[in-house]
Amino acid sequence: MFKIFLLFFMFTRVLEIFCYYQNGDLRFVAVLYRHGDRAPTKIYPKDPYNDVSYYWPDGLGELTNLGIQHQYELGQWFTNRYATFLPEKFSTADIYVRSSDRDRTLMSAAANLAGLYPAKGAQVWDKQLLWRPIPIHTVPNEEDEVVAMKKDCPRYNLLYDQLLNSRTFQLVNLRNKPLYDYLTKNTGWNITELRQIETLYSLLSIEKQYNLTLPAWAEGIFPKKLEFLAALSHASFSFTKPLARLKNGPFFDYVFSHFDKVTSNATVLKFLMISAHDNTIVNLLSAMGVYDYTFPNFASTIIWELSQKDERFYVNLFYKNTATVSELKLMGCEMNCEYETFKTILEPVTVKVEEWNKDCII
């Protein structure tokens, strides 16, 4: 009897998460996803698969066919989830798409949109190709403080260096020195810090995904031991409130500016799509206090849904890291969190670009 009750509860909870907006109160959706599957960005000197032209013919760091497929499927998933909210035909009045200035994120956005908006009716220009071009906006990464989060911020750099030199992170390196030495011996990299562990973990994960047999030295340390250290490396970029504010502040202000236009009836835009990276995912989850130190999969997605009931607006937050979607709750905010409350909770890590530029000065 208890098992039946539990299954019924889980089923009704899933229905609540997926269908609560079907009564027409959903007003705006913002999504940020990691690009699709890519080739490794770096190959260690002793890697048995270091023939890049053979194993990764499209180049290091580039989107693979599997990555294109996964993003296309994510676009179809958006279509199904928002079937009663987004019109079937593409319109610039409904959706705005922004990407970091990297091949893999720009291509991921294009593949996703092909799944979200297959050409129909008058939008078909070639019956053999049910696709139409959709604008994707970007700015150079070195000028982008919102999506790529790569624009130089001297104060952030100073605070981050202080964090890495803090007793906490020095102890992490000290306690893992035997592991670092072991990896240095077997990879040919001089491994001395967490960021290198992150790169190695990502590389091994990709090789395993593509059915390449991992070397014997990786047994016992991959994936579990390396995954936690890689996740800690990810989390370090927004490890403190000051770091989180300078890293994520312009992004939250950007998203909230779209929400504010909806709540004031200043826009009819329905959907904001952002194509980004694993670091972006972790930075935002960490800043919101909901990161569980799990490495983001390719095409993992954060979803913010703004809905209205009567005169009140509220936000629901979701995370899709596998085939399933989980509800995330900010501290002090349950499901259907009042929008102003949601903003207030994130106010310490939200900042306008003009103010951010001033705060970055040392």
Tell me which residues are annotated as active site. 35, 278
Nearest-angstrom CA–CA distance, 36 and 107: 9
3-class secondary structure, 287: helix
* Residue 161 Cα distances to 138, 154, 238, 243, angstroms: 29, 11, 13, 11
Q: Residue type for 89, please? A: K
Please count the other Cβ atoms lying within 10 Å of the Cβ belonging to residue 326: 13
> φ, ψ for residue 58 (rounded to 5)?
-85, -5
25, 308 contact by CB (below 8 A): yes
Nearest-angstrom CA–CA distance, 284 and 255: 12
105, 61 contact by CB (below 8 A): no
Dihedral sign computed on CA atoms, order 299, 302, 305, 306: negative
* Residue 337 Cα distances to 46, 73, 262, 287, 326, angstroms: 51, 29, 16, 17, 16
